[in-house]
Structures are given as C-alpha cells and as structure tokens.
Amino acid sequence: MLLNAAEWDLPHQRQLIVDGRAIRLGWYTSQPAGLLTMICDFGRDRIDLLVVPARATAVWAATAMTAAATSDNRQHTPALLADIDCRN
C-alpha cells in the first residue's frame, strides 16, 4: 500500500497485519495527496482509492466520491480534489 507521508497523522509503520496477513506500507512524499494505491503481489493488480479528507463536509465528500465513481472519469486524484470546493 502506498500512502502520502504528509497526509496521514499516524506513525509511519512499515506493515499492517489484517486477518493474519502482513500488508507492506510505503510512505512517500511523491504520492499524490488523497490517493491510496494498493498493489497486489499476486498478478500485480493495482487499485487506486480516493481518500476524502477528514475536514470534508458531507456534501463535498459525496461530490468527490460520485465524481471518482463515474465510469468515464479520467481525472487523476489531485485534479479531482482540486475541482471540488471543500468549503461548501
């Protein structure tokens, strides 16, 4: 799992144990804010997840999630988050 080092207010541990399995964590300053990337060892599948900031209002969060889930959406996470006004 790849995470943005500055965006998470928790210790930057190197692994997370889930259901008895170790998930390796990588903390990078180059990882875009608002993006969590999962890469599976088996088959090298990649999943990008939008992370809605905790400060987001319900309306803002719903707008971001709807835009990210739209099948024809081709925006990268930083652009997607920049397009949505967090103050509403």
Please report, rounded to a whole number, the percentage of residues in the chain having pLDDT higher than 90: 30
Around Cβ 31, how many Cβ atoms within 10 Å? 18
pLDDT digits (tens, 9 = 90+) for 8-37: 888 899 999 999 999 999 999 999 888 899
43, 83: one domain? no
pLDDT at 88 over 60: no
Dist CA 12 CA 27 (whole Å)? 7
pLDDT of residue 27: 95
Are 3 and 34 within one domain? yes
| Contacts for 21 with CB less than 8 Å, ≥ 6 apart | none
Number of structural domains in the chain: 2
Instruction: Please tell me whether residues 22 and 47 are part of one structural domain.
Output: yes
- Residues in contact with 32: Cβ distance below 8 Å, sequence separation at least 6, in sequence order: 4, 76, 77, 78
Domain span including residue 82 = 54-88
- Encode pLDDT of 23-82 as tens digits: 999 999 999 888 899 998 776 788 888 888 777 888 888 888 888 888 888 877 777 777
Residues 63 and 77 in one domain: yes
| Residue 72 shares a structural domain with residue 32 | no
Q: What's the distance, CA 66 to chain centroid? A: 15
Regarding whether 9 and 40 lie in a shared domain, the answer is yes
Are 3 and 24 in contact by the 8 Å Cβ rule? The answer is no
The pLDDT of residue 51: 86
